[in-house]
C-alpha cells in the first residue's frame, strides 16, 4: 500500500463518524445508515483514484452517501415504503420507565431529533454536529443557503423549546 493510499484510508476512517451521522439523518434508521456508509466506503475504495483526486474527500464522500440514499429511496418507492424508523420505538409511553427517561435531557433531545423532518435533521447534523458551513451544506443538499440557515434555526428552536420543558431545562431557564 502506497503512502498516498495509507493517507487516504486513514482519512476515510476518520470520516466514518461524520458520514454515519449524515446517513442517519437521511435514512432515519441506524441499520440503513450503516449500510449506506458501507456502500459508500466500497465505492470510495473501488474508485480510489477518483476519491483521492477529489478536491475535498469529505465533500466527495458526503455526496456519494447522498446519491446512494437517493438511489435507495427510488428502490423503496418501487418496493413500497419500509417500516419507518427504529427511533419510533422510543415514542414516549406513560409507564414509569418512560416517565423516568422523559426526565433525561438526553432522552428528550433524542426524541425531538427523531421527530424532526429529514430536512431539519440533515441540516442540523451537517451544520451543528458535523460543523459544515452553511455554504457547504447548501451545496451538498442543493438548496439555497437561506434554506439551510432557516432549517438549522428551526431545528435549534425545536430542541431548545423541547428541552426547556424538562425539569433541568426549566431550572436552567429560571
Which residues are within 8 A (CB) of 61 and not within 5 positions of it... i.e. 6 or more apart?
Answer: 12, 15, 19, 40, 44, 51
Longest Cα separation, the chain: 59
With binding defined as CB under 8 A, does residue 91 bind another protein?
no
Q: What residues from 34 to 53 belong to the interface with another protein (CB under 8 A)?
A: 34-39, 41-43, 45-47
CB of 125 to another protein, least distance (A): 6
Among 52, 109, 115, 119, interactor with another protein by CB under 8 A: 109
CB of 38 to another protein, least distance (A): 6
The count of C-alpha atoms lying within 13 angstroms of the C-alpha of 139, restricted to the half-sphere facing its C-beta, is 9
Among 53, 76, 100, 133, interactor with another protein by CB under 8 A: 133
- Please tell me the distance from the alpha carbon of residue 80 to that of residue 65, in angstroms, as a whole number: 21
Residues, the chain, total? 174
With binding defined as CB under 8 A, does residue 119 bind another protein?
no
- 137 sits in which H/E element: helix 134-141
In 3D space, the residue among 116, 109, 105, 111 whose CA is nearest the CA of residue 93 turns out to be: 111
- Please tell me the distance from the alpha carbon of residue 73 to that of residue 12, in angstroms, as a whole number: 25
With binding defined as CB under 8 A, does residue 7 bind another protein?
no
Window of 22-30, 50-58, 76-84, 95-103 that interacts with another protein by CB under 8 A? 22-30
Q: Is 34 exposed, middle or buried (0-12, 13-18, 19+ CB in 10 A)?
A: middle
Q: What residues from 60 to 79 belong to the interface with another protein (CB under 8 A)?
A: 72
Site residues for another protein per CB under 8 A: 1, 9, 12-13, 16-17, 20-21, 24-25, 30-31, 33-39, 41-43, 45-47, 72, 87, 105-106, 108-110, 113-114, 124-125, 127-129, 133-134, 149-150, 152-153, 155-157, 159-160, 163-164, 169, 172-173
Amino acid at each position: 500500500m502506497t503512502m498516498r493510499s495509507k493517507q487516504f484510508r486513514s482519512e476515510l476512517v476518520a470520516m466514518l463518524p461524520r458520514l454515519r451521522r449524515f446517513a442517519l439523518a437521511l435514512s432515519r434508521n441506524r441499520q440503513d445508515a450503516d449500510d449506506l456508509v458501507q456502500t459508500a466506503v466500497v465505492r470510495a475504495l473501488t474508485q480510489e483514484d477518483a476519491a483521492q483526486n477529489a478536491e475535498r474527500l469529505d465533500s466527495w464522500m458526503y455526496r456519494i452517501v447522498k446519491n446512494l440514499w437517493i438511489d435507495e429511496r427510488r428502490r423503496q418507492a418501487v418496493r413500497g415504503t419500509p417500516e419507518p424508523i427504529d427511533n419510533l420505538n422510543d415514542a414516549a409511553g406513560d409507564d414509569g420507565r418512560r416517565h423516568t427517561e422523559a426526565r433525561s435531557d438526553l432522552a428528550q433531545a433524542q426524541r425531538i431529533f427523531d421527530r424532526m423532518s429529514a430536512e431539519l435533521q440533515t441540516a442540523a447534523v451537517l451544520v451543528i454536529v458535523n460543523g459544515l458551513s452553511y455554504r457547504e451544506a447548501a451545496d451538498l443538499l442543493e438548496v439555497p443557503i437561506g434554506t439551510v440557515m432557516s432549517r438549522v434555526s428551526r431545528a435549534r428552536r425545536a430542541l431548545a423549546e423541547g428541552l426547556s420543558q424538562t425539569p433541568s431545562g426549566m431550572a436552567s431557564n429560571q
